Amino acid sequence: MRDFGYFKAVIENMEKVNETQGENIKAAAALMFEAIKNDRLISVYGGGGHTTLPVGEMFFRAGGLANINPVMETGLSVFNQALKYLELERTVNYGGAIMRYYDLKEGDVLIIFHNIGINPATIDAAMEAKKNGVKIIAVSSSYWQGEMPAEHFIRHPNKTNLFDYADVAIDDYNPVGDAMVEIPGFETPIAPASNIVDFYIAHLLEIETVAMCVDAGITPPVWSSANTPGGDEKNAALLAKYRPRVKML
């Protein structure tokens, strides 16, 4: 098997997250812990395309937090037609409309994933949430935000970056272009890494949050696998509690 350095590149990316983002992950987990302590939901949003996949990874997942509220818009996801979601994630005010529908309140916690961090569906969502006093955890790349030209057409017209709106910013160090492997004799890079790293960050947030709950003597709301013996029975109380509150349940 030939991976042309892909495994090493992904591991180096995750190691960089470990080495530099630990305090940011702890700070984000502290906001998530407070949400659990105060019986509030933790909302998660992806600003378009494959950045919506971490939303699914955190929602209704074995070993994941049961108070996750996916701010999920099918139009932005990879389960929409590709050219349609590409256009929608570049559409001004679309992200703001999604946030208004989910009606997050002051003090709520919102995790926004978008490794590029500059497109209208991401920026408008962050602006709307910030206006309402929502605490924002942003997972994105400083490379994309810093290296993309100010006048690039995919940017929000106000030229801001996702990290500008974040209470806690977590850098996933996704390289511009995302794909990390070059095959000799072939010009176009292949093998993106952003979702692998963002899934890793999502689970680091869950791990730290659950550990904080245990340290404080609070039982965190965590799903058991519905596919194991007794799983449905273990989840029944969590479903009864959160199904009236989480739109996607």
What is the per-residue pLDDT across 69-92, written as a single tens digit (0 to 9) for each?
Answer: 999 889 999 999 999 999 999 999
Torsion (CA) 118, 86, 199, 205 in degrees, nearest 10: 40
User: 71 to each of 148, 150, 216, 238, how far by Cα in Å?
Assistant: 27, 28, 28, 19
Q: How far is CA 190 from CA 19, 40, 82, 184, in A?
A: 26, 41, 18, 12
Q: Does the pTM exceed 0.85? A: yes
What pLDDT is stored for residue 158 in this prediction?
A: 97
Find the length of the chain.
Answer: 249
- The strand pairing partners of 192, in sequence order, are 179
Residue % of the chain over a pLDDT of 90: 99
Q: What confidence tens digit (pLDDT) does each residue in 25-38 have?
A: 999 999 999 999 99
188: CB partners within 8 A, 6+ apart: 179
For residues 117, 120, 124, 130, the Cα torsion angle rounded to the nearest 10 degrees is 20
Give the tens place of pLDDT for each residue, 193-243. Answer: 999 999 999 999 999 999 999 999 999 999 999 999 999 999 999 999 999
pLDDT for the residue 37:
98
Q: Which residues pair with 190 in a beta bridge?
A: 181
End-to-end C-alpha distance for the chain, whole angstroms: 41
